Chains A and B, each alone.
Chain A
Amino acid sequence: MTDLTRLPAADLADLLTRREVSSVEATRASLDRIAAAEGDLHAFLHVAGDAALKRASEIDQLRADGHDLGPLAGVPVAIKDVLCTKDMPSTAGSRILEGWVPPYDATVVARLRSAGLVPLGKTNMDEFAMGSSTEHSAYGPTHNPWDLDRIPGGSGGGSAAAVAAFEAPFALGSDTGGSIRQPAAVTGTVGMKPTYGGVSRYGAIALASSLDQVGPVSRTVLDSALLHDVIGGHDPHDSTSLEDVWPSFADAARAGASNLALSGLRVGVVRELHGEGFQAGVRQRFDEALALLAAAGAEIVEVSAPHFEYAIAAYYLILPAEASSNLAKYDSVRFGLRVTPEGGGTVEQVMSATREAGFGPEVKRRIILGTYALSAGYYDAYYGSAQKVRTLIQRDFDAAFSQVDVLVTPSAPTTAFKLGDKIDDPLAMYLNDITTIPANLAGIPGMGLPIGLAPEDGLPVGIQLMAPAREDARLYKVGATLEALLHDTWGHPLLDLLPADFGRSRAGATGHASPAHLVPPPGPGTEPDGGTA
Chain B
Amino acid sequence: MRYSISLGLALGCSIAESSRFARKNYFYPDLAKNYQISQYDEPIAFEGEVEVELDDGTLVRIPIERAHMEEDAGKLTHVGGATGRIQGAEYSLVDYNRAGVPLVEIVTKPIFGAEHRAPELARAYVGTIRDIVRSLGVSDARMERGNLRCDANVSLRPRGQEKLGTRTETKNVNSLRSVERAVRYEIQRQAAILAGGGTIIQETRHWHEDTGTTSAGRPKSDADDYRYFPEPDLLPVVPSKELIAELRAALPESPAVFRRRLQTEYGFTDGEFRDILNANLLVEMEQTVAAGAAPAQARKWWLGEILRIANARGVEAGTLISPFHVSELIALVESGRLTDRLGRQVLEGVVAGEGSPDEVVKARGLAVVSDDAALLAAIDEALASQPDVLAKIRDGKVQAAGAVIGAVMKAMRGQADAARVRELVLERAQG
With A333-B94, A371-B227 in contact, is A328–B35 under 8 Å at CB?
yes
Q: Using Cβ atoms and an 8 Å threshold, which residues of chain A touch B96?
A: 334
Whether A375 touches B23, Cβ cut-off 8 Å, given contacts A239-B234, A239-B235, A240-B235, is: no
B24-32, B373-381, B407-415: which lies at the interface: B24-32
**Which residues does chain B contribute within 8 Å of A210, judged by CB atoms?**
232
Q: A78 to chain B: closest CB distance in Å?
A: 27
Which residues, 24 to 74 on B, are CB-close (under 8 Å) to A? 25, 27, 29, 32-35
Interface size class of A (residues with CB under 8 A): 20 to 34
Nearest opposing residue in chain B for A210, CB measure: B232
Contact partner of B23 among A208, A239, A240, A325, CB < 8 A?
A: A325
- In the bound assembly, the distance between CA atoms of A206 and B232 in angstroms comes to 11
Q: Check: B427 CB closer than 8 A to any chain A CB.
A: no
Determine how close the nearest CB of chain B comes to the CB of A269; give it in whole angstroms. Answer: 32
Question: CB-nearest residue of chain A relative to B33?
Answer: A329
Q: Residues of B contacting A1 with CB < 8 Å?
A: none
Contacts of B228 in A (CB 8 A): 374, 379
Cα–Cα, bound, A206→B33 (Å): 12
Chain B 341-380, CB-CB to A under 8 Å as 1, else 0, gives: 0000000000000000000000000000000000000000
How far does the alpha carbon of A206 sit from the alpha carbon of B23 in the complex, in Å? 15
- Find chain B residues with CB under 8 A from A383 CB: 229
Q: Which A187-211 residues sit within 8 Å CB-CB of chain B?
A: 206, 208-210
Bound complex: CA A325 to CA B23 (Å): 8
The digit string for A301-335, where 1 denotes a CB below 8 A from any CB of B, is 00000000000000000000110110011010110
> Given A209-B233, A239-B233, A239-B235, A328 and B225 touching (CB < 8 A)?
no
Residues in B whose Cβ lies below 8 Å from that of A375: 225, 227
B215 is an interface residue with CB less than 8 A from chain A: no
User: Which B residues are in CB contact (< 8 Å) with A333?
Assistant: 29, 32, 94
For A321, the chain B residues whose CB sits under 8 A away are 229
Evaluate contact between B35 and A209: CB separation under 8 angstroms. no
Q: Number of B residues whose C-beta is below 8 Å from A?
A: 19
Complex contacts, B232 vs chain A, CB 8 Å? 208-210, 240, 322
B199 within 8 A of A: no
**In A249-274, which residues have CB < 8 Å from any B CB?**
none
A376 on interface, CB distance cutoff 8 Å? yes
Assembled-state Cα–Cα distance A240/B233 (Å): 6
Q: Are A334 and B32 in contact (CB-based, < 8 A)?
A: yes
Chain B residues whose CB sits within 8 angstroms of the CB of A379 once the complex forms: 227-229
- Provide the bound-state CA to CA distance between A169 and B114, in Å: 74
B interface, CB within 8 angstroms of A: 23, 25, 27, 29, 32-35, 92, 94, 96, 225, 227-229, 232-235
Q: Could you tell me the distance between the alpha carbons of A375 and B227 in the complex, rounded to whole angstroms?
A: 5
User: Chain B: which residue is nearest A206 at the CB level?
Assistant: B233
Chain A residues, CB < 8 A from B234: 239-240
Contact B27 A331 (CB under 8 A): yes
Shortest distance from the beta carbon of A203 to any chain B beta carbon, whole Å? 13
Chain A residues with CB under 8 Å of B27's CB are: 328, 331, 348, 351
Q: How far is the CB of B212 from chain A (nearest CB, A)?
A: 31
Minimum CB–CB distance from B403 to chain A (whole Å) comes to 75
Interface assignment of A35: CB less than 8 Å from any CB of chain B: no
Which chain A positions have C-beta within 8 A of B25?
324-325, 328, 374
Instruction: Tell me whether A328 and B233 are in contact (CB under 8 A).
Output: no
Nearest CB of chain B from residue A44's CB, rounded to whole Å = 29
Instruction: Known A209-B232, A240-B235; judge A325-B227 contact (CB<8 A).
Output: yes
Q: Which residues of B contact A240 (CB under 8 A)?
A: 232-235
A429 interface hit (Cβ, 8 Å): no
Contacts of A376 on B, CB cut-off 8 Å? Answer: 225, 227
B224 and chain A: residue at smallest CB distance? A376
Beyond the given A371-B227, A376-B227, could you list 13 further A-B residue pairs with CB under 8 A, ordered by the A residue number?
A208-B232, A239-B233, A239-B234, A325-B23, A325-B25, A325-B35, A329-B34, A331-B34, A334-B96, A347-B29, A348-B27, A374-B25, A374-B228
Is B225 within 8 A of A329, CB to CB? no
Bound: A351/B228 CA distance, A: 21
Q: Does B227 lie within 8 Å of A374, measured CB to CB?
A: yes
CB distance from B192 to the nearest CB of A (A): 34
Return chain B residues, CB-CB under 8 Å to A322: 229, 232
Shortest Cβ distance from A197 into B: residue: B235
* Nearest Cβ on chain B to A409's Cβ, whole angstroms: 26
In the assembled complex, 13 residue pairs joining A and B whose CB atoms fall closer than 8 Å, in A order, are A239-B235, A240-B234, A324-B227, A325-B227, A328-B34, A329-B32, A331-B27, A331-B34, A333-B94, A371-B227, A374-B227, A374-B228, A376-B225
List residues of A (365-390) whose CB comes within 8 Å of B's CBs.
Answer: 371, 374-376, 379, 383
